[in-house]
């Protein structure tokens, strides 16, 4: 299935029916269409769902300057939710869950967090076959729902991505080979470099991994983590990766911990020409717990809007921690109502429903 073609459907409709008509007729047609659309939107809940579906069509993306663009060369801001560790909470990788997130939360991107070293991690004795089967499901469900999917090599306690470079290369080779033609897959090659890992080291790693992906997927978006748990996005501009095409650099924030200082880094990076992608955030503390900071959250929202950034909320799980979006008491793995959501889950849903 060619996703690009689908996405064009709406536009073709507009052009086909307006071409060649006199101006007055054009205006009348537009007016009638607007009235009909307004009436159907009010009367039919299904139409609202269809509208979400259309705006979330997973056509190929590309980067222009610092901005993520859709296939029509228009800026696009992805709205995503990240799974918790795939080994921890595999039950949320199901099509009904993703559909609910798409239609009710207006999410168009699912991030699949494949931890490397933590619990059941890919390089720590985790069941590789099962983990890859979950990724396969995730990619296929998102594809069929017209959503994007981020395959996230979730380094964390292994602060230096070089530690598992060999495994990363063979993993991403396999991913790009399998999914390179899908058009909805985004590769996140290292979640959060940390400890003493410098940008120079991350850059070397990226320069080694990116060509492996490019061999099979020439144009897919690639996300590169930055030092200090993906905060130091301002370090990139002086020395970006070698193969720059469709590469973005990640900035992560947890609003109750990361404040103006971190927003300033992002602004500095963008002004210096670095494409920034927020592949993980929450409005709790960086521990994934602690009190939500709503006033800082508001400031982050303003930054995201101003710079048309994409963002992905952490996490799709019912773990008993503030940054989980589903309440601990809720055992449903799809079809949640708002009362099943945590304070943060409710906030995220409202935020996505109300913004681009
Ligand atoms: C946290 C999870 C928590 C888990 C821990 C593992 O929320 O349940 O026990 O990882 O060490 C990140 C990381 C992300 C963290 C999250 C919250 O990318 O893996 O998840 N966080 O601490 N960066 C900043 C915050």
Sequence-separated (6 or more) residues with CB below 8 Å from residue 53: 102, 103, 146
Helix, strand, coil percent content, the chain, rounded in steps of 5: 45, 15, 40
- Ligand 1 centre and the CA of 48: distance in Å? 34
- Provide the pLDDT confidence category of residue 205 given band limits of 50, 70 and 90: very high
- Judge whether 192 counts as a catalytic residue: yes
Ligand 1: centre distance to CA 259 (Å): 18
The residue to which tokens 């991350």 are assigned? 202
Residues 6 or more apart in contact with residue 12 via CB below 8 angstroms:
none
Distance, CA of 135 to CA of 140 (rounded, Å): 8
- DSSP, collapsed to helix, strand or coil, labels residue 10 as helix
| pTM score | 0.86
Of all atoms in ligand 1, which is nearest to the CA of residue 85? 19
Q: Render pLDDT for 212-255 as a digit per residue (tens, 0 to 9).
A: 999 999 999 999 999 999 999 999 999 999 999 999 999 999 99
CA of 300 to the centre of ligand 1 (A): 20
The finding on whether 191 has its CB within 6 A of some atom of ligand 1 is yes
Binned at pLDDT 50, 70 and 90, residue 16 comes out as: very low
The H or E element spanning position 41 is helix 23-43
Write the pLDDT tens digit of every residue in 305-350: 999 999 999 999 999 999 999 999 999 999 999 999 999 999 999 9
Q: What distance in angstroms lies between residue 323's CA and the mean position of ligand 1's atoms?
A: 9
3-class SS of residue 5: helix
Q: In 3D, which of 28, 2, 29 has the Cα closest to residue 16?
A: 29
**Mean pLDDT calculated for residue range 77-93:** 98
**What's the whole-number average pLDDT of the chain?**
89
Which stretches does DSSP call E strand in the chain? 62-64, 67-69, 79-85, 109-115, 148-154, 185-188, 222-224, 247-254, 276-282, 311-316
Neighbours of 314 (CB within 10 A): 25
CA angle 100, 106, 109 (to 5 degrees): 85
> Given ligand 1 and candidates 88, 89, 150, 156, which is best to mutate, with the most ligand atoms within 8 Å of its CB?
156
Which of 192, 296, 321, 322 is labelled catalytic?
Answer: 192
Work out which ligand 1 atom sits closest to the CA atom of 323.
Answer: 7
Active site (annotated) includes residue 280: yes
Question: pLDDT tens digits for 153-202?
Answer: 999 999 999 999 999 999 999 999 999 999 999 999 999 999 999 999 99
């Amino acid at each position: 299935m060619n996703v690009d073609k689908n996405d064009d459907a709406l536009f073709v409709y507009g052009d086909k029916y307006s071409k060649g008509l006199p101006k007055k007729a054009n205006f009348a047609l537009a007016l009638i269409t607007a009235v009909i659309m307004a009436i159907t939107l009010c009367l039919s809940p299904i139409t609202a769902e269809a509208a979400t579906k259309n705006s979330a069509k997973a056509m190929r993306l590309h980067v222009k300057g610092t901005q993520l663009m859709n296939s029509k060369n228009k800026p696009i801001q992805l709205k995503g939710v990240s799974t918790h560790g795939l080994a921890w909470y595999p039950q949320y990788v199901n099509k009904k869950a993703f559909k609910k997130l798409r239609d009710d939360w207006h999410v168009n991107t699912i991030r699949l967090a494949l931890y490397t070293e933590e619990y059941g991690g890919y390089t720590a004795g985790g069941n590789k076959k099962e983990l890859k089967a979950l990724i396969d499901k995730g990619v296929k469900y998102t594809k069929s729902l017209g959503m994007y999917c981020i395959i996230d090599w979730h380094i964390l306690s292994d602060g230096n991505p070089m530690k598992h470079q060999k495994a990363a290369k063979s993993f991403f080779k396999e991913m790009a080979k399998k999914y390179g033609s899908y058009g909805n897959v985004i590769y996140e090659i290292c979640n959060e470099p940390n400890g003493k890992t410098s940008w120079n080291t991350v850059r070397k790693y990226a320069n080694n991994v990116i060509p492996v992906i490019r061999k099979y997927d020439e144009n897919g978006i690639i996300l590169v983590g930055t030092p200090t748990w993906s905060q130091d996005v301002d370090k990139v501009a002086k020395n970006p990766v070698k193969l720059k095409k469709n590469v973005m650099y990640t900035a992560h924030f947890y609003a109750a911990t990361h404040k103006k200082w971190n927003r300033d880094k992002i602004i500095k990076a963008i002004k210096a020409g670095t494409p920034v992608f927020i592949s993980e955030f929450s409005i709790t503390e960086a521990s994934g717990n602690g009190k939500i900071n709503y006033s800082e959250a508001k400031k982050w929202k303003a930054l995201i809007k101003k710079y048309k950034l994409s963002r992905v909320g952490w996490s799709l799980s019912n773990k008993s921690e503030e940054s989980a979006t589903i309440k601990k008491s809720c055992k449903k793995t799809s079809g949640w109502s708002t009362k099943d959501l945590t304070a943060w889950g409710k906030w995220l849903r409202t935020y996505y429903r109300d913004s681009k």
